[in-house]
Structure 1
């Protein structure tokens, strides 16, 4: 069987690409870091890959708004290529800054307002400061291939702009009714709450979004930062054979590709 191939996007300011490559390789994929300029020059670089990752960091210094400049590059130079990638049944994941990029391109949630404007954005945390902490996530979507149903995750966050908001109440209803909310922030017992359970004030405690196919996922927490037991803040109390929660995201992606391609 040919190895699953993944591309981890690079650009100025992105700083989680190496960790993401390592997570994908631990899951059994062959991962390559490619600069966006090289993909713009030759979009066929995407043809042999089945997973495309927009990793975390601060692309282009988050000038203008978090992820906005990289999103503009993707929309104007790679829109057709990325849409073709998704239409071919392949997987796309955006982590933290990468989630911001997917939302600001309109790839997530995949629908807009009636006037064509964005229905969803990601903005400044309610705390008005950078939040760096661990959070619990409860699966909230049935069709997302990255998710293990019923498995609550414990992952770190690190962002100043992580609050998911909709333009209208109708857009929020659509997000929820059509299953776009992939994960919600919860406490250790699975209950929703205010800060710090919901670390940024996201509407309906939304921590991640997926599209209608379930093959595109954007999430604010960092699964690539918990891929080994020793990265858990209480790792000495954890079983030696535990599966790090972050690996479930990458393992599910690689397993899906292995089964369907």
Structure 2
């Protein structure tokens, strides 16, 4: 069961290389405790540090966190302003611990639309951790899967119109090379997607990259999602048979 405090037995040889998490439920976590929504977001950001360390120590190579979507701008201004301040606070406070953990920070999304302080904090975090060789902590910040695909299509169409790309040569690798996850190389596609809070949808997240990912949904709100819950999700992943559209010869 998710959130169980007992240690889950995992196969170290089958730890997913790339885990993506839709961190959902901060507001409901706060409401349940008669707190303002921003208290949930603050606690959720505190939990990012906890889960990042746990993921790194489990041997995960890439942890992608859906921190702010292109649709989140629709929220009240006060909440959006607070959400934009969280990355600044997070990087200012936790970067020394992440560097000590050998974690490398990357940020993807429509970063030009972010407030200057948020954008600068993200750029500084990437620069400060660039020499680290451990797990990549990949924040999706002002990210939307459909917008990502639109921008990739535009870039490919522009190259084809300019004569630098043969339309007949466009394939899956061409598209992947134009997505925001291209910096992750052969680890661009998550092996496992986890969504907290009990919701069971993708919410415009990594629409191309999740084509063959295993999906695990947990009722725990993000601030309550523990390292034990992460291990439970990985155990569920390890119990499945990934065939990528093929068949199991034993069946």
Higher helix share: 2
Larger Rg: 2
Q: TM-score under structure 1 normalisation?
A: 0.31
Higher relative contact order (CA 8 A, sep 6+): 2
After TM superposition, the score normalised by the length of structure 2 is 0.32
